[in-house]
Amino acid sequence: MPPKKKPTEKPKAVLPSGRKDSSFFEQVYDVARLIPRGRVTSYGAIAAYLGTKMSARMVGWAMNGAVHLKPPVPAHRVVNRNGMLSGKMHFGTPTRMEELLKKEKIKVVDDIIVDFEKKFWDPAEELAI
DNA sequence: TTGTTGACCTCTT
DNA sequence: CAAGAGGCCAACA
């Protein structure tokens, strides 16, 4: 039996459309679920925790389907480095993310999290890698 | 199939 | 100090 040579290998890395599979994405979801209530983190922090801070974009892309994932991922607790709700428009309604954050006792003004640094939750610190 | 876009971050000019 | 470009991986046209 000859070696299996497949020029077009199908990567299991599929998004929410498929389900859990990809490593990087799954890790992102896992970390996002570990975010305590009332805390927030950034894409770069999660990416850095995973070891690839350069792939911060992928974290955001993973969040694109995190809302449809199960268990639901608190994507509203994940924002960019500036603490701005960059992905608020992807929650179905442009105010959904802000409302969710307000329920978390997090103040949001002008789509920016107040005291973001204080509420910042660093996985590398809390999870103590 | 290739090319472009995207909830980003960091470095360089 | 401010603006621009680069780089990562995956999905969509």
Predicted confidence (pLDDT) per residue in A21-32, tens digit? 557 888 899 999
CA of A105 to C1' of B2 (A): 47
Q: CA A38 to CA A69: how far, in whole Å?
A: 21
Give the lowest-confidence range in A18-27, A31-40, A51-60, A70-79. Answer: A18-27
Give the dihedral sign, CA A57/A46/A34/A22.
positive
Q: Is the peptide bond before A71 cis (omega within 30 degrees of 0)?
A: yes
CA of A56 to C1' of C3 (A): 21
How much is the mean pLDDT over chain A?
A: 82
Strands A41-42 and A78-79: parallel
Residue A69: what pLDDT? 84
What counts of helices (H) and strands (E) characterise chain A?
6, 4
Q: Which nucleotides of B are covered by protein (CB under 7 A)?
A: 1, 6-10
Cα A53 → chain centroid: 13
Q: What contacts A125, CB < 8 A, 6 or more positions away?
A: none
Give the nearest nucleotide to A79, CA to C1': B7
Give the number of other Cβ atoms within 10 Å of residue A61's Cβ.
15
Considering the entire predicted model, what is its pTM? 0.83
Q: What contacts A92, CB < 8 A, 6 or more positions away?
A: A67
Where is pLDDT greater, at A129 or A3?
Answer: A129
Residue A128: what pLDDT? 65
